[in-house]
Amino acid sequence: MNRTLLSRPLIRGSAAALAGLLAITALAGCGPAGSTDAGSDEPIDWKLTETTAAPSGDIDSFTFASYAEPYSLDYAYAFDYADNSVLANVCESLLRLNPDYSLSPGLAESFEHPTPDTWVYTIREGVTFHDGTPLTAADAVASMSRHLDPAVGSFWFSVYQNVKSIEQTGDRQVTVTMTGPDSQFNLGMGGSAGVIESAATLSEKGADYGNSTGGVNCTGPFQLTSWDSGESITMTRYDDYWDADLKARSGEVKFVFMTDPTARINALKSGSVDGSWMVPMEAVPTLQSAGKGDVLFGMNTAVGNVVVSNLDGPLGDVRVRKALLLAMDRDGILQAAYRGVGATTDVMTTESVWQDASDAARTAAFDDITSYDQNVEEAKKLIAEAGAEGAELTYVTAPISNDFAVISQATVAAAQSIGLKVKVETVTPNAYTALFSDPSAREGVDLFYTSWYLSSPDALEMYSVLRTGDFSNYGGWSNPEFDAILQEAVTIDDPAARSELTAKAQQIANEELPWLPLYQAPISLYLGERITGVQPSIAFMYYPWAATIGAR
């Protein structure tokens, strides 16, 4: 969930995102700061790639560039791309979220749903933490219980909000009892909310757990070796990893933090860095022509939205929100920010998370909705009706990639075209991430951008974050009918039946616009000429993708 910059924020997130995620952020100014391609702005010829060639063998090491340093590797706060892209390879969850967004057994070898209010997990035997100690049911109880502790303040509390108790009920058995039926809880066990850490490590590290000093001690195919704050994170292969099918093909992986997009792309072009997720789209032609590797596009669950984070000001009137969206040139945004890779959208989910939905639900969710094709004259009428001419909005962005620059500029242009004013404030990537986690960071902020991904294979997750009072409901939007639909939907186990209620929630959000949906685009990945084996997918937030990479 995620989402800043890009859910769950990014921060969602995503994941957030960054989100979270959660953040891929934007630059303000007259031109695309950080642009790495001075050539044509012709659309990019692209297609989705499900997988890459299998490795020819193992590799000693490879490097990946990250647009930002992780906020934390504590799973309770891993809510963005930078955090989860590392954590997914080091820590593991009860269930495994696969690249096709299916769920399979993870640290829980099986689960049962014996009553509407209980989920029972059987913890896998033969798994050890990176310090060599065995995984137990007690570790699962301790790890999951942290999300309920107000002193922890987990960013993933929403997954646990209906949990009544978490208890060890057998040698390898953990029973989670809910206050009522909750279909979403188990679906969330494939993401950071389901991560299991050593209870002894959690107790020993305390407040230092998950930071550059305390580190983590999990069960994944890699173990955290070093975290040089501000510079890099290194992880090494864990030779006693339990899953032979995902034993790491590389002895070492180094993540280098490169907040300057120009430096990041130059490092990829030169081969000094082997790969990177979320390649700035303006750099794709440059990387393709360099001939040093491949730019790939994979399945995504993210939608680019402008978050409405202040409903006490002019945007509290739905007519102003609709007017701003109607005034935006979303086709132009997609072309300028993503070279035409993707599609504009009027809703906050992608069809990839409606795989188990009924046909009727898909029709309601994607066809029976309001379209916001650009119409400046209609937008001006709405502004006049709302009496909002001359109102001023504050839009916050950050220098992470060209899409942030494009969207901030497009928002300003749209607002000006209908008689609104927008003040753009540019902050650091870390300060931008705080928008998704710290309410005080959002004070005085009306709008900011997120590419919000989902952490489970169900569209209901997206709308759950917009319930009244939810942690990620950044603008404090509230709609009783919407809340009632979600309250009912969450009790339904059957995904097809549940999807029909989710479609109604999507229709309400499409009409009320608590966030302004812009476009959906695939996840981008660069693989240098030394490496192969990864499946391009937004699941890299939770799946141990680095373990699959070996030598070309």
pLDDT at residue 269 in the model: 94
pLDDT at 246 over 60: yes
Residue spans per domain, the chain: 95-205, 207-298+524-551, 303-522
Nearest to 302 by CA among 427, 444, 489, 462: 462
> According to CATH, what is the number of the domain 95-205?
3.90.76.10
Mean pLDDT across the stretch 88-108?
96
Q: Which two tokens stand for residue 274?
A: 């082997």
CA distance 383 to 416: 12
Confidence of residue 254 (pLDDT cuts 50, 70, 90): very high
Write the single-letter amino acid at 392: E
Cα 29 from Cα 6, distance rounded (Å): 21
Q: What is the pLDDT of residues 3-40, one digit of tens each?
A: 333 333 333 343 333 333 333 332 222 222 333 443 45
Fold agreement between 95-205 and 303-522: no
pLDDT-derived band at 419, boundaries 50, 70, 90: very high
What number of helices (H) and strands (E) belong to the chain?
16, 21
What pTM does this model have? 0.82
Report the top-level CATH class of 303-522: alpha beta
What pLDDT is attached to residue 21?
32
What is the distance between the alpha carbons of residues 372 and 353, in angstroms, rounded to a whole number? 22
541 falls in which pLDDT band (50, 70, 90)? very high
Give the pLDDT confidence score for residue 476 in this predicted structure: 96
Return the SS3 of 273.
coil
Average pLDDT over all residues of the chain: 91
Q: Provide the β-strand partners of residue 481.
A: none
CA 163 to chain centre: 23
Q: What's the CA gap between 91 and 543, in Å, rounded? A: 10
Q: What pLDDT, on a 0 to 100 scale, did the predictor assign at position 31?
A: 28
In the predicted model, what is the mean pLDDT of residues 55-73? 95
Q: What is the DSSP code (8-state) at residue 8? A: -
Q: In what order do the strands lie in the sheet with 293-298?
A: 222-228, 232-237, 250-257, 59-66, 275-277, 523-528, 293-298
- Counting every residue written for the chain, the total comes to 552
Q: For residues 161 and 485, which has the higher predicted lDDT (pLDDT)?
A: 485
* pLDDT for 149 beyond 60: yes
Cα–Cα distance, 215 to 374 (Å, whole number) = 49
Determine the pLDDT at residue 8. 35
Sequence-ordered strand ranges (E) for 141-291 = 163-170, 173-178, 222-228, 232-237, 250-257, 275-277
Q: What is the pLDDT of residue 23?
A: 33
Coil, strand, or helix at residue 327?
A: helix
In DSSP notation, 183-219 reads HHHHHGGGSGGGB---HHHHHHHGGGTTSTTT-----
Q: Is it true that domain 207-298+524-551 has CATH number 3.40.190.10?
A: yes
Look at residue 41 in the predicted model and tell me its pLDDT. Answer: 67
pLDDT digits (tens, 9 = 90+) for 317-340: 999 999 999 999 999 999 998 889
Query: In this predicted structure, which of 9-23, 84-98, 131-145 has the lowest mean pLDDT?
Result: 9-23
Q: How far, in Å, CA of 452 to CA of 303, rounded?
A: 5
